[in-house]
Amino acid sequence: MMVVAETVENVLTERIIGAAIEVHRHLGPGLLETAYDECLCYELSQQGVRFQRQVALPITYKGVKLDCNYRLDLLVEDTVVVEVKAIEALLPVHSAQLLTYLKSSGKRVGLLINFNVTQLTKGLKRMVNHYVEPNSPPPSLRLSQRLSGSAVNREPR
């Protein structure tokens, strides 16, 4: 008999999914994403699970971190990225979005949860990031730089 060790990520994703099922059981499909997000946060807080909402996610482009106003819906226990949806169906682009968020945040595990389904298990997707960040750029390029207007400095015409 083989015993699989429970990782922190596995335990967390199980708790998050359990909280999401509880929310879906009470609300059902058809509401706005914000309602599900709020209720999921309530359920997590009732379990004593730490989370952050709307976490800023800078994008690294050619070694420079740029603030492009991307936000993680939830970051649970600084470990699991949760992307909440209330859409007709999950598409491959939603999985790609979560994978990009995992790579950009340096997190390994994410959950994509679509509440606009009749059975929540049909709206769940767990993803694991196997991305290994290349060698870090020099410190001068790692600094977060806020560029005004455009990322390209143009001469006036």
**CA–CA separation, 117 vs 8, rounded Å?**
28
One-letter amino acid for residue 129 of the chain: N
DSSP string, 49-87: --EEEEEEEEEEETTEEEEEEEEEEEEETTTEEEEEE-S
Please say whether the beta carbons of 27 and 36 come within 8 A. yes
Q: Taking a C-beta distance cutoff of 8 angstroms, is the pair 68, 51 a contact?
A: no
* pLDDT one-digit tens code per residue, 42-83: 999 999 999 999 999 988 888 888 888 889 999 999 999 999
What pLDDT, on the 0 to 100 scale, is given for residue 7? Answer: 84
- For residue 112, pLDDT over 90 is answered with yes
Question: Over 50: is that where the pLDDT of 148 sits?
Answer: no
pLDDT at 131: 52
- Structure confidence by residue, pLDDT tens digits, 19-52: 999 999 999 999 999 999 999 999 999 999 999 9
